Structure 1
Amino acid sequence: MTATPQRATYRHGNLKAEALKAATRLVAQSGHEALSLRQVADAVGVAHRSLYNHFTDREALLDAVATDAYTRLAAQLTKAQTPEDYTATYVRFALRNRAIYALMTSRPHATMKRNPPLQAAVHKVITEAMRIFCRDIETPAARRRAVMKVYITLYGGISLYVAGVLDQPSEKALIAELSAMNAGM
């Protein structure tokens, strides 16, 4: 008689990965405010309690979606060679993934110390900004201010553009204006 090997996954494969994919899709469709663990469980075909084996709660699942999104954004930003490349890549990601971007920017920075994967993913994006915008800046405080200026400009510009408040005729024009604002870092 041979022993049956124990399964390392649920009947649906890797439940954590499938739940993350489903949550990402649901956030992209309806925003993060409305997402529930029950919706995600229904989307992957398991009881909602099964998700608690992988995510402590809804916020942990949202953090995982944000972590994945920051990691994807950072990977795209590694290809940037100039401030204009960085700005264009960042803005295009935000505008093509509006609901995901809203989730990403909703994660409180103060709580990231309790979530090392999310903190590491965010820092990958920041590291790319430092590589591009802080080449000639020597002090840590000046580098920090430069990166904050970049992100305040990008976040503010994107938010105003999406809300229809910023008078830019196109994505291309928005990118040009934000690039000009961040020039000379």
Structure 2
Amino acid sequence: MSKAARDTYRHGNIKADAIKATYEAVAASGHANVSLRRIAEELGVAHRALYNHFKNKEDLLDAVATEAFNQLAAKLRRAKTPKSYLDTYMGFAFETPQLYALMTSRPHGTMKNNPALQRAVHGVITEALRIFADPEASSQTRRRQVMRVYILAHGALSLYSAGILDLPGRKALIADVAEMLEGQ
């Protein structure tokens, strides 16, 4: 007598599939409403199966943020100038605002407990160092040069998205930020 197969059994890489499904869910509607139960249902597994790969929802969201930072870093590696860096960085934020919101919601203080996320974030920072930082400057000066880039870019993105900045479009915003960063 053979036992019937369970409806929830499936082959494949549940962890990778969960990250991909969550990435798509976040890109479509943000990270606030992500549910492990909904992701498991979409994958056709019991929600408990996700706990074999992720401690909790935040752990899964960290994995999605890691993937997004890695994708952004890969795009930024092609940047050759400050303007092309900003086009890529800010373009990513404009094209995938929900993912960008997730990425910027990850608390830096906890990244030391998540080496994969920390490496992914540092991949983006490394590209900013390559483009914006003076290689002869002290590490503190280089850190401040990159921090200035992110403060201006993220602040500009936030203000523009909120409708506070009166600019004719995204290209004008990026051009303004690039001009502000010239001669840092």
Question: C-alpha distance in 1, partners of 2:25/2:44?
Answer: 14
Contact kept? 2:10, 2:44, Cα under 8 Å: no
Question: C-alpha distance in 1, partners of 2:56/2:135?
Answer: 43
5 Å-filtered alignment, 1:1-80, equals 11-80=10-79
Query: Which amino acid in structure 2 is aligned with residue 38 of structure 1?
Result: R
Shift of 1:69: 0.2
Query: Which amino acid in structure 1 is aligned with residue 62 of structure 2?
Result: D
Query: Which amino acid in structure 2 is aligned with residue 121 of structure 1?
Result: A
Kindly tell me: are residues 136 and 116 of structure 1, through their superposed partners in 2, closer, same or farther at Cα, counting changes over 3 Å?
Answer: closer
Contact kept? 2:134, 2:142, Cα under 8 Å: no
Aligned to 1:109: 108
SS of alignment partner, residue 164 of structure 1: coil
Runs of 4+ residues deviating >2 angstroms: none
Question: C-alpha distance in 1, partners of 2:136/2:83?
Answer: 18
Shift of 1:12: 3.9
Query: Which amino acid in structure 2 is aligned with residue 74 of structure 1?
Result: A
> Normalization by structure 1: what TM-score?
0.92
SS of alignment partner, residue 80 of structure 1: coil
Aligned to 1:164: 163
Unaligned runs of 5+ in 2: 1-8
Shift of 1:66: 0.2
| Identity across matched positions, percent | 57
Matched residues, number: 176
Shift of 1:44: 1.1
> Normalization by structure 2: what TM-score?
0.93
Question: C-alpha distance in 2, partners of 1:137/1:148?
Answer: 17
Aligned to 1:87: 86
Query: Which amino acid in structure 2 is aligned with residue 19 of structure 1?
Result: A
Aligned to 2:149: 150
SS of alignment partner, residue 51 of structure 2: helix
Aligned to 1:124: 123
Shift of 1:135: 3.2
Question: C-alpha distance in 1, partners of 2:101/2:164?
Answer: 17
Query: Which amino acid in structure 1 is aligned with residue 79 of structure 2?
Result: A
Contact kept? 2:40, 2:50, Cα under 8 Å: yes
Shift of 1:11: 2.0
Question: C-alpha distance in 2, partners of 1:183/1:36?
Answer: 43
Over the residues paired in the alignment, what is the CA RMSD in angstroms?
A: 1.1
Shift of 1:137: 4.6
C-alpha distance after superposition, 1:13-64 (max 9, x if no partner): 1111110111011111221111111111111111110000111100000000
Relative to structure 2, which stretch is displaced further, 167-176 or 111-120? 167-176
Shift of 1:111: 0.5
C-alpha distance after superposition, 1:92-139 (max 9, x if no partner): 000000000000000000110000000000000000000000135510
Shift of 1:153: 0.4
